[in-house]
Structure 1
Amino acid sequence: MPLERSDYLKLDKHKYHCEPEEFEEWVRSGYGKGKRLAVDLFSGAGGLSLGLERAGWTTAAAVDFDERARETHAVNFPGMSLCVDLGDDGQRGEFVQRILDSGAEIDIVAGGPPCQPFSRAGRSKIRHLVDNHNRDPHDLRKELWRAYVDVVERLLPRTVLMENVPDMGLGDDFSVIRIIEAKLESLGYATQVRLVDAWNYRVPQHRKRLILLARRDGGGFTWDKPKKQTTLRDAIGDLPPINPNPLDPVGSRLLDYDEKQDPKPSPFAKEMRKKADKGVIHDHMTRRVRADDFKIFTIMDSKTLYSELDEKLGDDEKEFQRYDAEQFTDKYKKLDWNELSRTITAHIAKDGYWYIHPEEPRTLTVREAARIQTFPDRFRFAGTRSDAFRQIGNAVPPLLGEAAARVLLPQDAPVGHEATDKWPEVREELTRWAKEQRAGKQWYQFPNGRKMKPLGALVMAVLSGGKLHPSQFANVMNGVAGHRELTRDVYLALVNAAPTAAARKRLEDRLGPVVDKAEVWVDADSILDHSKMMGLKPAELALFRLLAGDDIMLVNQGALRVAARLQQNQSHLTNRLTEGRLNLIKLLGAGRDAPVRMAAIRFVGENLCRDKQPVCGSCPLSDYCPTRPQEDEGAAATFDAVLTAD
C-alpha cells in the first residue's frame, strides 16, 4: 500500500483569540472582562479547555509545546494559545508574568502535566529539592509537574484541576501525587484525588483517569451521579457510511450529512451536532488499508482475536495473517456497536488496527475518533490527518473534563469541607505519635531513629514474616540496636535470642550467608544489592526499605483498613489497588517524615486497628476516625497492655 499523506488543514483563529501583546486589553476591556477565567497548561488541542468552557469558564491562556495542537487550540478557543516550553524557567516566568501584569484574576489552573515516576534512587534527592523550593535544571523537562505546581504557586487561583493516567502512581508509590498534594495544602488548598471511569460521564470508551482537585474557597468536592452509558452506536452510528475498497481514499474532508435521517440520531449524536455546519460532516476520513487487512477486517467480528484468524482464514488464505499470532493475540480489534470503544490513544495516529469499524472494513475516521473522545462536530483539528489523530488521542475527553470542573464551581454553602481539610492535622498527629514511640520501647518499628540502622531494619523484615507477637520482638531487636554490621558475635546472639524454632530458621537462612561480609553493610543500598544472596522475599524487601528510611507505600490489608476507616468506606475490601491506595496516600502524605508515618500506619493496622475488636482507645487516630464505635471493648486499654497481651 502506498504511503498516503493527507492535505494540511489550515484554519482561521477564533473570533476572540488574542496575541500576547493584546492580552491586557483582552482582560481589562475585551472579551475576557467579567468572566470566570481559566489557564490550561499542557493543553494539547483543548479537550480540557472545552470541558471547562462547558462548565462555565472562559479560557484566558493555554500553553502547549506541540505547534499543531496550539494551532488547533487557537482555532477553537478565545484568549492566548501559546507554544511555550514550561520546563524552561525563562519561558515559564515570562508567561506567568504576562498574566500577572494583565490584572487577570485566574479562577482555575487546569492541565495534565506529564508525571514521570521517580526512581527509587532519586526520590530522597527530589523530595529535598521540592521541600526547599530549589530547581534542578537537568530534570525539569522530565518533571514538568514541578513547572505546573510553580505556575499554581505564582498565580494562586481559587481552584486547581490536574488530570493524568492512573498508572503514573504505581511505579513510584504515588510519590509525585503525594508531593503535589502536600505542596497545594501548604498553599492553603484542600485537595481530593480520585480515580474516575470516563464512561460514567457519557464518554463512550474504556478510559480510567486520575483526577486531582484542589480549592481554597472553603468548598467541598461533590461529583455528579454517574450517567447512563453511551454505546459506540450512540456515539457514531449516525455518521454516513463510507463503504471503502482497497483502491480508493477512505472518506473525505467534507461529506454530506442527513440531518433528518431515519432512524434518528441518538441524544448524544444530536448534542455533538450542535453548532456544526448544517448538512455536512467534516474530517470523516481515514487511511486506506492493505488488501490483506481488508480481507481480514471483513471476516472478523468484535470477539475475534488475531490469534484466532488462522482458523477463520483457512489454508488457502493464511498468507493474509502476516504477524506472529502468538505474540500479537490482540493486534486487531473490531469494535462492537453495543459496547464501549477501546481507549482512544495517540497510537491511533500510527495505525488504527485497534479501532476497526463495527461494520465496514476500515479503521475509525478522524471524526469518529473525535466523537468517541466527545469532541463536537464543530471542533476542527489543524494539520494533517495524522496530526488530528494524535491530537485527539492525547486529549482529555471534554465531557470528562466538564464533570471534573463542575465539582470546582463556586458553592453557596460549603459541603463536606470538614472531610477534606483535616488531613494535615491528622498527619501531624500521626507523625508526633510515631516519633514518640520511636524514642521508646518500640524503636524497632520505625525508621530513622537513633537505634535503627540498616541491619536492624533487615532483621525486623526477616522476623516480621514469622507472625511473632509484638512482645517477642523486643529481646531479639535489642541485640542489634545501634549495630551497623553483622559480625559473627552479633549473628550468634540473634539466633540464640530467637523466640521460636521457625524464627531461628528464618534468621539462619537469610542472614547466615552474609555474616562477616563487610561489603554488605556499607549502607541500605548495598544490602539491597545483596538481597538475592539472602533470598529475601518481596514483602521482606518492602519492609526493609521502609524501615531503612525509604519513602514507599507499604500496601497491605492492615494499612488499607486504617485509611479506609478514617475515610468511612470499604475500599480495603472492595478496591484495594485503586481507591484503597488513594485513601492511603491521603493519610500518608509526603515529605521527609512520610516513611515514619507509613511505619506508624503499618503498626496501627497490625496491632490496634484490627479487623475485629479494634483497640480504638489506644489508637493515635481515634479522634479523627468517624467509624470509631462510641463504646468499644478496647477503649480503656493502655498501649503497653495491648502489646504485651497474650
Structure 2
Amino acid sequence: MISSALRLTKIERIADGVAPRVLELCSGCGGMSLGLQTAGFQLVAHVESDQTAAASYSMNLAPSDGASEAWTAPRDMVACGPETLAADLNLGDPGEAFDILAAGLPCQAFARIGRSKLRSITGDDEAFRNDPRAQLYRRFLEYVETVQPVVILIENVPDILNFGGHNIPEEICETLDEMGYETRYTLLNAAFYGVPQLRERLFLVAVDRRLGYVPTFPAPSHAAELPSGYEGARTVALKYIPTHNSHFHPIPVAADGLPGAVSVKAALSDLPYISEHYRDPVTMRRRKVGDFLPYRSSASLPSYATQMRKWQGFGTGSQVDGHVVRLTPRDFAIFRRMPTGADYPTALKIAEEIFAEKLKAEQSRPRRGSIRYEEARRSCVPPYDPGKFPNKWWKLEPTSPSRTLTAHMGKDTYSHIHWDSRQQRTVSVREAARLQSFPDGFRFAGAMNAAFRQIGNAVPPLLALAVARHLKAELAAGAARAVLAGSRRRAA
C-alpha cells in the first residue's frame, strides 16, 4: 500500500533523529503547538479560521526564516483541504510533508454549556447535533487519509465522550484501527501538570501500528485535589465508555510525594498591581493589550513565575504586556467586599447591601418603584437571576488553582475576579494567560476581548508540553524498534 510505504519512510526519518513535522488543525493562537515546539517537534503548518487567532499564532510561532503571507493566512479546514494547504505553502505532496497531525477541534457543540447556548439561540433541542462543528472530526479523518501521519493527537472537552449518548472518541479510534493505528484516549486535568487551573480535557493519541506500542499518557507532575463537581462531570463523561474492547486509557493518578498544584497567588503575585480602572479610567481606556508595565519587585520569585518569564524563546526582561481589564464601575465595590471563593449569589447579597446603604445616605429617599428608585438600584445591583447564573461570578481562591478559563472570557471575565480586594477587578489579559500557562513573552493579536477569547480557547501550553514530551519519547523508541525489526526481516 502507498500509505504504508509513506508512513514507513516517515518512521525511518524519525528514527534518524530528525524532528517530527507537525500540522495542527484548528490551532487557535497556538497553545498546543507551543507545547509541541518546546518538546522538539517542528511546526510546519497550521489551519485556523479565526483571523485574529491566526495572527497571534504567526506572531509567536512563525518559522525562523520568516512567516510568508501564505503561512500566516487564516483557513477553514472544511474549505481548505491538505492538498490546497500543501500547495499554498510549497510543501509538495501532503502525504510526504507531515509526520504528526494534531487538532484541538472546536468544542462548542460538545460541551454541555455550549449545547445549552445553542439551544437558547436556535430554539432547537437538537441544535448541538446539527451544528457543523460537531462533524469536524469526520473532516479530520479525511485529513488523516491524505496526510498519512505517523502520530495523531486530538484534544477536546470531556463531554465529547457523551455526545447525546454517543462516544465520539471511541468512533474515531475504531476508524483509526482500520487505518493501521493503535489508539487510546483519556482525561487529563491541567492542574496535575503544573498549570494553575483545574481544566479537564480529553486527549486522544494514535500511532502507526508498526511502532509496536500502545500509546500511554504522561504521569502527573503535581498533586491536585479535584472538587466534587469535577468528579461528577467525569462520571457523566465516562458513562458511555464500552465495557469490552474499549480504547479508553485509565486516567493517570498522581504518585505520593509530588508537589502540590500551583496556586493562583503563586501564578500571579509578581504581575503588576492594577488600579487605573477605578483611579484613572481614562488611562485604562487608552491602554492596549501590547502595552508594557514593569513586574512587581519580589525578593523571592515563585518557581512558576520564573518559568513563565524564562520560557525558551519567550523570555522577558523587566516588563510584561497585557494589563487591560474590564471597566465595570458598578461592580468594583462588590468585588472589593466579596470574600475569596464567593460566587454570584454572595455578590448579589453584597450588592443589595450597597444599595441599602446608598438609599440610607440619601437626604430624600426615592419611593420604591419610582424611576429614581429603579435607577439607583440599577447603579448598584446586577440584574442576573442567581438561580440561573450561580457561577456567573467567582472570586479566585489565592491558595488554590483557578477554575477553568473559557472562550466566554472574550465577553465576560466575571468568572475570574482577582482575589486581591484592593484591586477590585476581574483578571487582566496577562493574568488570564498566566493561568493558562502561556509564557510572558507570548503576544496576543487584537484587542482585549479577542485576547481573552484566544486564551480561553487554547490548550494550556504546559499541559501540551507534558503530553508532547511523553509522546516524543515513546515515538523515538518505537521508531528505533520498527527500523531495527525491518532490518532484521530484510536480513533473514
Settle same-fold status: TM greater than 0.5. yes
State whether residues 348 and 382 of structure 2, in contact with CA within 8 Å, keep that contact through their aligned partners in structure 1: no
State whether residues 60 and 78 of structure 1, in contact with CA within 8 Å, keep that contact through their aligned partners in structure 2: no
User: Matches of 1:212 and 1:390 in 2, distance apart?
Assistant: 24
1:68 matched residue in structure 2? 52
Change over 3 Å in CA distance of 1:143–1:110 after alignment to 2: same
2:461 matched residue in structure 1? 398
Change over 3 Å in CA distance of 1:51–1:294 after alignment to 2: same
Change over 3 Å in CA distance of 1:258–1:310 after alignment to 2: closer
Aligned to 2:44, the other structure's residue is in SS state strand
Change over 3 Å in CA distance of 1:197–1:102 after alignment to 2: closer
1:226 matched residue in structure 2? 220
After superposition, the C-alpha distances for 1:522-542 in whole angstroms (9 at most, x for unaligned) are xxxxxxxxxxxxxxxxxxxxx
Match of 2:85 among 95, 98, 103: 95
TM-score, length-normalised on structure 1? Answer: 0.52
Match of 2:357 among 294, 316, 321: 316
2:395 matched residue in structure 1? 334
- Paired residues for 1:118-267 under 5 Å: 142-216=134-208, 217-228=211-222, 229-246=261-278, 247-248=280-281, 249-250=283-284, 253-258=290-295, 261-267=297-303
After superposition, the C-alpha distances for 1:221-240 in whole angstroms (9 at most, x for unaligned) are 34332123111112111101
Please say which of residues 399-408 and 184-193 is displaced more in the overlay. 399-408
After superposition, the C-alpha distances for 1:321-364 in whole angstroms (9 at most, x for unaligned) are 22234433333211111111121111111121111111121111
User: Matches of 1:139 and 1:264 in 2, distance apart?
Assistant: 50
Over alpha carbons, which structure has the higher Rg? 1
User: Matches of 1:157 and 1:102 in 2, distance apart?
Assistant: 10
State whether residues 335 and 424 of structure 2, in contact with CA within 8 Å, keep that contact through their aligned partners in structure 1: yes
TM-score, length-normalised on structure 2? Answer: 0.68
Aligned to 1:194, the other structure's residue is in SS state strand
Q: Which runs of 5+ in 2 are unaligned?
A: 1-16, 64-70, 112-129, 223-260, 360-376, 482-492
Percent identity for Structure 1 against Structure 2: 35
User: Matches of 1:42 and 1:310 in 2, distance apart?
Assistant: 38
**Superposed displacement of residue 174, structure 1:** 3.6
Aligned to 2:99, the other structure's residue is in SS state strand
User: Matches of 1:158 and 1:255 in 2, distance apart?
Assistant: 42
- The answer on 1:370 being equivalent to 2:430 is no
Please say which of residues 148-157 and 94-103 is displaced more in the overlay. 94-103
Match of 1:113 among 90, 105, 108: 105
User: Matches of 1:265 and 1:139 in 2, distance apart?
Assistant: 46
User: Matches of 2:347 and 2:106 in 1, distance apart?
Assistant: 38
State whether residues 185 and 191 of structure 1, in contact with CA within 8 Å, keep that contact through their aligned partners in structure 2: yes
State whether residues 294 and 362 of structure 1, in contact with CA within 8 Å, keep that contact through their aligned partners in structure 2: yes
2:307 matched residue in structure 1? 271
1:544 matched residue in structure 2? none
Runs of 4 or more above 6 Å deviation: none
**Superposed displacement of residue 393, structure 1:** 0.8
User: Matches of 1:277 and 1:109 in 2, distance apart?
Assistant: 31
State whether residues 110 and 157 of structure 2, in contact with CA within 8 Å, keep that contact through their aligned partners in structure 1: no
Match of 1:386 among 424, 441, 449: 449
Match of 1:299 among 329, 337, 346: 337
Match of 2:24 among 27, 30, 40: 40
Q: What is the root-mean-square deviation in Å for CA atoms of aligned residues?
A: 2.7
Aligned to 1:150, the other structure's residue is in SS state helix
State whether residues 223 and 407 of structure 1, in contact with CA within 8 Å, keep that contact through their aligned partners in structure 2: yes
User: Matches of 2:386 and 2:46 in 1, distance apart?
Assistant: 44
User: Matches of 1:381 and 1:178 in 2, distance apart?
Assistant: 35
After superposition, the C-alpha distances for 1:278-309 in whole angstroms (9 at most, x for unaligned) are 1111112212122x201101100123332234
Give the aligned length.
362
User: Matches of 2:426 and 2:183 in 1, distance apart?
Assistant: 41
Aligned partner of 1:233: which letter? K
Aligned partner of 2:212: which letter? G
**Superposed displacement of residue 191, structure 1:** 0.6
After superposition, the C-alpha distances for 1:232-280 in whole angstroms (9 at most, x for unaligned) are 1121111011124435144654343248x22422111111111433111
State whether residues 309 and 441 of structure 2, in contact with CA within 8 Å, keep that contact through their aligned partners in structure 1: yes
Aligned to 1:238, the other structure's residue is in SS state coil
- The answer on 1:287 being equivalent to 2:271 is no
Aligned partner of 2:26: which letter? F
Aligned to 1:76, the other structure's residue is in SS state helix
After superposition, the C-alpha distances for 1:36-58 in whole angstroms (9 at most, x for unaligned) are 21111000100010010121101
**Superposed displacement of residue 403, structure 1:** 1.7
User: Matches of 1:393 and 1:376 in 2, distance apart?
Assistant: 15
User: Matches of 2:419 and 2:171 in 1, distance apart?
Assistant: 44
Change over 3 Å in CA distance of 1:410–1:263 after alignment to 2: closer
Aligned to 2:403, the other structure's residue is in SS state coil
User: Matches of 2:398 and 2:407 in 1, distance apart?
Assistant: 22
User: Matches of 2:268 and 2:180 in 1, distance apart?
Assistant: 44
